[in-house]
Amino acid sequence: MVNRLIGSDSTYLLQHAGDPVDWWPFGPGAFAEAARRDVPVLVSIGYAACHWCHVMARESFSDPGIAALLNEHVVCVKVDREQHPDIDALYMQATIALSGHGGWPMTVFTDPEGRPFYADTYVPPEDRPGRPGMPRLIRAVRDTWDNRREEIADMGKKVHGMMELHSAPVRPVATGEQMLERVTSALRDAEDPVHGGFGGAPKFPPSATLLGLTRRAERTGDAGLHTLVGRTVESMVRGGIFDQIGGGFARYTVDAAWRTPHFEKMLDDNALLLRALSAHAHATGDPLAARAATQTAQFLCSRLRRDDGLFATSLDADTDGVEGATYRYTRERVSTALGSGAEADVDWICSVLGIDAADAPAAGSVPRLSRDPDDLRRFLRLRKRLAAARDRDPQPGRDETATTAGTAMAVTALTETADLLPGSNDAALRATAAAALRAVDRLHRAPDGVLLRFRNGSHASLADLAWLAVAAARAAAAASRTGDTETTTDCLRILRDALGQIEDRHTDPENPGTYFDSGVAIPVLGLRARDPFDTAVPAGVAVAGEAFFTGAAVVGTTGDTDTADRWTDHARRILAVHGEVAGAHPLQAGGWLCLAEIAAAGPTRAVVIQPTPEALRRLRAQLDSAALVLGAGTAGIHPDGPEPGDGPAVQICRDGACGRVVPL
């Protein structure tokens, strides 16, 4: 059977195009069909790399008997959360409210108006202790629909009310130094002092929190925060969550020690971790973090960059239906990869990577850095050979979806890595980043010029536009330092466009300082998503604040003080009303910590006259990781004041106050 998903441009939806389930894409048509038939709607939400989504697809959605029950009793709707994060966010709130937990696959039953009345995550194909299987669940839902409709109506109204609250503005509370100290104190108390990170298993990389704490340590001089960040970075980089062979990080680990990953590799996770690693390495000189940053940048460019210059969303957890098959190693696999006569190398690298000779071939070890290699050159040489051999093996699937936010995160991370870690193939990273930014500008636009989340898709979200603006600001600064007028000009135009569309399409005029995540109301639900809390990524509104600050710092060097002042006001107003968000959930406040520390530090920018590589290296070492460094004389960028005579010179500005131009 081929269903309505066959024409989709979503990798995830295409995975279900051959299901015997009569799937519909999310939209008014599906819910109108449910109303016509007088049946409930199943809204099933997931993403292409999700292991348990694959499991549920094999067990239930591919089963003809279960599919027949679904087709008879409900209208089935499939949603790709990568393409529609606003729909995902609202139904996630409903799932947590109804079931007490959230995750993917998300299984939500609604009425024909989209109002949820039952929700869960993974549902097994048969009854198991404590939970019904899919057939029993379908029949129970339909029985309740037919015979206890008033209960469903009452529950639907209550949950829809919760979803409306999720779209409501926050109560204004300023994000001051006292609030930041409370957040920092809560993070210290919650840290796992043995393995780093916060809390127990399962353990997710706290990317934005690590970056925010690094920025705070740089500003306050609190060396203890650098140590805290370093513990987490070292544990992750040495652990199985970091791909010791191919670079890049898995999404999370099932244990507290970062050893056993859930093997999917996501673009946003790796881009955010790359930002944190580069900043930490810059601030502390940590060679392990610098090496991991370089390898993660290589992973992004080699594994997730598409032919059109954009970045794909993820690599699958499974290879040929086996979770983690690509990433597990036995001694035999290492021996085969290194070839005959390499027994000494096999023994040595297996010892370094904790690969146990007793491992069963079907299982294998997840390599980890069990000890520091006593010969780094040997380690890197053998790692390269293992990676080349892996390239010849079956590979995990790739979600080809390229979102504006995901690509812009990669652009931001690659540009910052090139800036903060000179010698990390920085010229190539800057070129890759600039090409990706231009590809978004060229490919992700509607005919009327409105930016899109993905090609031929829905309008860009707040996060899409905010990350695009951050990326454009960073890329403009980088291009200006090399005198690349064309790239600098393009980046400045993209920056103005992205922030202008936030102002025009996402501002809540009745609640200054707050923004809607979606530019228009979600079909059927009639709600505009607005989530000020971090999830796996920083809250869109927090990133918007960073975008306004960095954008203002860049355009201020072109003499456009009116725009710079307006954008700075937007950023400070965002901080002025979202203190309660950071205080309510300090362990999920990384995005707000990043933003608040940029504000508290200035933000800082430096304009360099006649920049030379050596002068830039000296200057960069003196500045915090978030500081913007621009080159004068490119695309109208200039210091505020007279320039000195010959030779490199610099003007440093903080919080709009600029010092004298001095020799560098």
Q: What is the DSSP string of 477-536?
A: HHHHHTT-HHHHHHHHHHHHHHHHHHHHHTB-TTSTT-B-SSSSPPTTT-------S-SS
* DSSP H/E element including 469: helix 462-481
Q: Residues, the chain, total?
A: 664
- 422 class by beta-carbon count within 10 Å (0-12 exposed, 13-18 middle, 19+ buried): middle
Distance separating alpha carbons of residues 655 and 395, to the nearest angstrom: 49
Q: Which residue has the higher pLDDT, 162 or 620?
A: 620
Q: Report pLDDT digits (tens) over 456-466.
A: 889 999 999 99
Specify the pLDDT at position 2: 64
Per DSSP bridges, beta strands 628-631 and 41-46 are: unpaired
Q: Report pLDDT digits (tens) over 19-59.
A: 999 999 999 999 999 999 999 999 999 999 999 999 999 99
- In sequence order, what DSSP letters do the residues of 89-100 get, joined into one string? HHHHHHHHHHHS
Whole-structure pTM value: 0.94
Cβ atoms < 10 Å from Cβ of 562: 9
How many percent of the chain have pLDDT more than 70? 98
Tokens representing residue 177 in the block: 């130094």
Q: Report pLDDT digits (tens) over 251-279.
A: 999 999 999 999 999 999 999 999 999 99
Q: How far is CA 332 from the centre of its chain?
A: 36
Task: Report which of 378, 289, 296, 377 is spatially closest to residue 338, judged by C-alpha positions.
Answer: 378
Which residues neighbour 289 within 8 Å (Cβ) at sequence distance 6 or greater?
Answer: 230, 233, 237, 277, 280, 281
Specify the pLDDT at position 357: 66
Dihedral of the alpha carbons of 338, 340, 341, 344, in degrees to the nearest 10: 40
Mean per-residue pLDDT, 635-639? 93
Q: Would you say residue 622 has pLDDT above 70? A: yes
To 10 degrees, what angle do helices 590-601 and 540-555 make? 20
Per DSSP bridges, beta strands 322-323 and 314-315 are: unpaired
Q: Which residue has the higher pLDDT, 453 or 533?
A: 453
Mean pLDDT of the chain: 93
pLDDT band at 131 (very low <50, low <70, confident <90, very high): confident
Distance separating alpha carbons of residues 171 and 168, to the nearest angstrom: 9
pLDDT band at 362 (very low <50, low <70, confident <90, very high): low
Residue-range domain boundaries for the chain: 4-166, 177-317+399-605, 325-395, 606-663
Tokens representing residue 129 in the block: 């202790």
Q: Which residue has the higher pLDDT, 321 or 16?
A: 16
Q: Would you say residue 150 has pLDDT above 60? A: yes
- What is the CATH architecture assignment of 177-317+399-605? Alpha/alpha barrel (1.50)
pLDDT band at 422 (very low <50, low <70, confident <90, very high): confident
Is 578 in a helix, a strand, or coil?
A: strand
Q: Would you say residue 282 has pLDDT above 60? A: yes
Number of H helices, E strands in the chain: 24, 17
Task: Report which of 477, 466, 407 is spatially closest to residue 442, judged by C-alpha positions.
Answer: 407
Helix ranges (DSSP H) in 121-206:
134-147, 149-166, 177-190
The listed CATH number (3.40.30.10, 3.40.50.720, 2.40.110.10, 3.40.50.11540) that belongs to domain 4-166: 3.40.30.10
Task: Report which of 236, 233, 242, 234 is spatially closest to residue 383, judged by C-alpha positions.
Answer: 242
Q: Which residue has the higher pLDDT, 349 or 131?
A: 349
pLDDT band at 167 (very low <50, low <70, confident <90, very high): confident
Q: Would you say residue 1 has pLDDT above 60? A: no
Task: Report which of 616, 594, 527, 609 is spatially closest to residue 219, judged by C-alpha positions.
Answer: 594
pLDDT band at 206 (very low <50, low <70, confident <90, very high): very high
Could you tell me if residue 10 is left (phi over 0), alpha (psi between -120 and 50 degrees) or otherwise beta? beta
Contacts for 123-126: CB closer than 8 Å, 24+ residues apart: 123/56, 123/60, 124/59, 125/59, 125/60, 125/63, 125/66
Residues 11, 54: contact at Cβ < 8 Å?
Answer: no
Dihedral of the alpha carbons of 262, 263, 266, 269, in degrees to the nearest 10: 50
Specify the pLDDT at position 581: 82
Is 339 in a helix, a strand, or coil?
A: coil
Q: Would you say residue 244 has pLDDT above 90? A: yes
Is 642 in a helix, a strand, or coil?
A: coil
Specify the pLDDT at position 468: 98
Specify the pLDDT at position 643: 75
Distance separating alpha carbons of residues 224 and 205, to the nearest angstrom: 19
Which residues neighbour 462 within 8 Å (Cβ) at sequence distance 6 or greater?
Answer: 502, 506, 515, 516, 517, 518, 519, 540, 541, 544
How many percent of the chain have pLDDT more than 90? 78
